[in-house]
Amino acid sequence: MEQNKKNAKFSRVGIVLAAAGSAIGLGNIWRFPYMVGENGGSAFLLIYLLCVTFFGLPVVCAELFAGRNGLGRWALVRDMGVLAITIILGYYIQVAGWCIEFLLCSWHPIDPNHFAEFTTNPWHVFGLSAANILICVAVLLAGVKKGIERASKIMVPFLFVILMVMILHAYFLEGSHAGMRYLFQLDVSKITPQVILSALSQSFYSLSIGMGILVAYAGYMRRDQSLAGTSVLTIILDTLVAVLVGVVIFAIVFTFGINPEEGPGLVFVVLPMAFSGMHIGTWLQVLFFLLLALAALTSLVSMMEAVVSYLIERMHLSRTRAVALTSVVVTALVISVIIYPVLWDIFDRATALYLIPLGGLCFTIYVGWFCDRTQVLAQIAPARYRWVSRCIYGLIRYVAPIIILVIFINGIL
């Protein structure tokens, strides 16, 4: 393990971009808008932002700390995380495959039935998933520095450029004001325990936390880099993408009279319909699905890397063997989800609602209560920003664990 870590370190920017590349994914572009739609618009957004600040930030720091300093007797948390990631991969790869399909078709108007047609063809879906697995294998075999860092350095900035073009366009749409109102005009009556749990789980899902992904990445982080800086930047980038995508999507939704509560099909069924009615719709459609496919890919790479580095450290496999084993297991899972589609919902709920918040909770308890306080404070931020370290430490030790537990119990009862 030591060798694995010594050989490759992310640069300062590299770790932020890699963490952001992992965080920014289908969770922001596909899942976030329909969660907003299903959970009361602005009410969900407000709770989401609070969750990101008060629970997301401490969990990101705690995970990075655990990754840098080891989990000791708490290694089980990482085992649970790797289990969650593997389960998520079973369906995430499929959605990533849909993105490639839509990207390939996006040069022409897409028939609204296209989604239903190709997703019921198991070979088609499998072929697309396999393509994604192969791309990930290539990046992972290239290693941390040449593979993950380089891929993230290209893809993440590109993603922002695409998003900016879309925002500019959305601004001039007729429904942009209604969309903004839906997202930003607060309606407190819509806040329920279920909305709060959904926002919490969405914030963790979107930041890729609670599963040990950052534990894996922190192993490749320089020792002198502060945890708070890396965490804050990652969180800002991830949240920015989610909110900006929300602005674009709801501007389109309200311009074309689409129901915001459309659910998981929102992006794949509804948006192409809207694009086909737009002036430069084809171009926007190409850009949008390119954005989606790239974001999905960087997240996929991070998930597979978490499993691979776990196998290297825990089972002392070589990188090549670990990558091979991971791809075989993941392919088997993808096939089972294709054959038994009910597994999809079970996988999504089991991970997003239960395993991930539970993982986050464990990381904060471990770092807040079982690690050396001076060490944690020193690594969170440099000595001159002592107050930052103190605030974040307070969140890690008291606020995050207690509130996550309360929300969790309230939401499942």
Question: Applying CB under 6 A, which residues contact ligand PHE?
Answer: 22-23, 25-28, 85, 88, 205-206, 208, 211, 213, 299, 302-303
What is d(CA 89, CA 375) in angstroms, rounded to the nearest whole number? 34
Token pair of 155, please? 């893809």
- Min CB(374)–ligand PHE separation in Å: 31
In the chain, the largest separation of any two C-alpha atoms, in whole Å, equals: 59
Q: How far is residue 161's CA from residue 82's CA, in Å, rounded to a whole number?
A: 32
Tokens 């945890």, residue?
A: 227
d(CA 81, CA 141): 22
Cβ-based nearer residue to ligand PHE, 96 or 403: 96
Question: Nearer Cβ to ligand PHE, position 132 or 302?
Answer: 302
Residue 195 or 296 with smaller CB distance to ligand PHE: 296
210 or 401: CB nearest ligand PHE? 210
**Least distance to ligand PHE from the beta carbon of 4, Å?**
20
Instruction: Give the H/E segment covering residue 388.
Output: helix 386-394
Give the gyration radius of the chain's Cα atoms: 20
Minimum separation from the CB atom of position 169 to ligand PHE (A):
23
Give min distance, CB of 274 to ligand PHE, in A: 22
Q: Which is nearer to ligand PHE, 156 or 376 (CB)?
A: 156
| Closest CB 385 distance from ligand PHE, rounded Å | 27
- 3-class SS of residue 212: coil
Q: What's the min distance (Å) between Cβ of 99 and ligand PHE?
A: 11
Q: What is the spatial distance between Cα 214 and Cα 56, in angstroms, rounded to a whole number?
A: 12
Q: Which of 401, 24, 92, 82 is nearest to 213 (CA)?
A: 82
* 103: helix, strand or coil: helix
Alpha helix (H) residue ranges in 172-316: 176-184, 193-207, 213-218, 227-255, 271-276, 281-315
Please calculate the CA angle 320-325-331 and round it to the nearest 5 degrees: 125
Q: How far apart are CA 358 and CA 356, in angstroms?
A: 5
CB 299 to ligand PHE: min, Å: 4
- Of 298 and 364, nearer to ligand PHE (C-beta) is 298
User: Of the two residues 101 and 348, which places its CB atom closer to ligand PHE in the complex?
Assistant: 348
